[in-house]
Amino acid sequence: MNDALTTDEFEALAEIGRGIKTKKVSPCVAKHAKHLFGLKYIAYGRNGRVAITDAGRQALFVKACIDGLRDISTDPLAMLHGEVRAFLEKKGHIAPRAEGGFEITQKGMESLADIDNIR
């Protein structure tokens, strides 16, 4: 995911991901729709309604994983969404602690360092 999105763009993408029932969108979505469409994170249906694409869902998931990894690095008892927790455990970025919660592994710390170097 080399397409650097701003916080507002992620918020607009998340809003679209939750589902928009009408053709009228919020000002946040309207402001960022062109960029998100250009990145193929959203698409317009035949009815004119905007919807999130698989690439958009993936971008939101990657952001959730990065945010979850950052949360665990600062607070071992931080709550993680089930899919995010499962992914981070499966990839070896976090490990369960005996006293509860999770700890970030060496691999997780290296991943965070790599992410921070990109930004």
Q: Read out DSSP for 33-62?
A: HHHHHHTTSEEE-TTS-EEE-HHHHHHHHH
Q: What is the pLDDT of residue 1?
A: 45
- Co-location of 94 and 47 in the same domain: no
What phi and psi, each to the nearest 5 degrees, are found at residue 94?
-135, 160
| Portion of the chain with pLDDT greater than 90, in percent | 73
Q: Provide the mean pLDDT of the chain.
A: 91
CB 53 within 8 A of CB 40: yes
Q: Is the pLDDT of residue 119 over 80?
A: no
- Co-location of 101 and 76 in the same domain: yes
CATH number at residue 71: 1.10.10
- Co-location of 62 and 23 in the same domain: no
- Co-location of 15 and 48 in the same domain: yes
Residue 1 lies in a domain: no
- Co-location of 66 and 26 in the same domain: no
pTM, two decimals, is 0.88
Q: Is the pLDDT of residue 4 over 70?
A: yes
Q: Is the pLDDT of residue 25 over 90?
A: no
Please count the other Cβ atoms lying within 10 Å of the Cβ belonging to residue 6: 10
Residue 32 lies in a domain: yes
- Co-location of 75 and 104 in the same domain: yes
- Co-location of 63 and 38 in the same domain: no
Alpha-carbon gap, residue 46 to 92, rounded angstroms: 42
Q: Which tens digits make up the pLDDT trace of 50-106?
A: 999 999 999 999 999 999 999 999 999 999 999 999 999 999 999 999 998 899 999
Alpha-carbon gap, residue 105 to 43, rounded angstroms: 38
- Co-location of 42 and 64 in the same domain: no
CA atoms within 13 A on the CB side of 12: 21
- Co-location of 44 and 79 in the same domain: no
- Bigger pLDDT: 107 vs 23: 107
Q: Is the dihedral of CA 109, 70, 29, 13 positive or negative?
A: positive
- Co-location of 70 and 44 in the same domain: no
* Full residue range of the structural domain in which residue 95 is found: 58-118
